[in-house]
A = this chain, B = another copy of it.
């Protein structure tokens, strides 16, 4: 075996993952899914990008933002250079109720108002998910190949009174969540039903990431942490 063959094999046996998002929920999904990763955050101006596309539907908006964030992070990682094939994932989530896109409420009073609207009703959570591959030695300005899709799920909220909504908002949790809820935190008490991939509702579909790996010619199982196998 020549040193070149050796080098190539070493590369192909490893695959690095970069999460292009500061979301603790997305990071937790990857950790629990046993997918080692590092975080690189984009500086895409979401508000400005949304304003440039006033005609975009909520799912189109989630996809546009995910693509912009993913490509921005891929450019940053490419500029540093990569030693092994590196998969960059960019995500954005938008909540839709009555055809209107809702992002993060930020302020408690906004979150309480959202809950007045959505209590007892069904909305739709859209997660745009972009995946791009950086190959060592390509010296590209970004990903050599990319794929993206929007993953949507219906979410049915419990019919809760103002006191319960205020108690929930007081936990602080919903302030930085699209749609002012989570299904993997205190908000679990107020969400009755999901019709779709629950991880996409949290912010990143691991099942879609597996399919995106295949689309990019990668073996998803190479992302799994194999340091502690049982069989």
Residues of A near any B CB (own CB < 8 A): 29, 32-34, 108, 158, 163-164, 167-173, 175, 183-186, 188-199, 201, 206-207, 209-211, 220-221, 224-226, 228-231
Contacts and interface: CB of A to CB of B under 8 A. Distances in A.
Contacts of A183: 198-199
A173 B189 CA distance: 26
B220 A185 contact: no
A175 B220 contact: no
A230 B34 contact: no
Contacts of A194: 194-198
Contacts of A196: 193-194
B192 A197 contact: yes
Contacts of A169: 231
Contacts of A172: 228-231
B189 A229 contact: no
A210 B220 CA distance: 38
A224 to B, nearest CB: 6
Contacts of A201: 198
Contact of A230 (B163, B175, B197): B175
B207 A167 contact: no
Contacts of A193: 195-197
B221 A167 contact: yes
B32 A229 contact: no
User: By CB atoms of chain B within 10 A, which of A171, A173, A183 has the most?
Assistant: A171
15 contacts: A32-B184, A32-B188, A34-B186, A158-B210, A158-B211, A170-B229, A171-B228, A186-B224, A189-B206, A189-B207, A189-B220, A192-B207, A193-B195, A198-B198, A198-B201
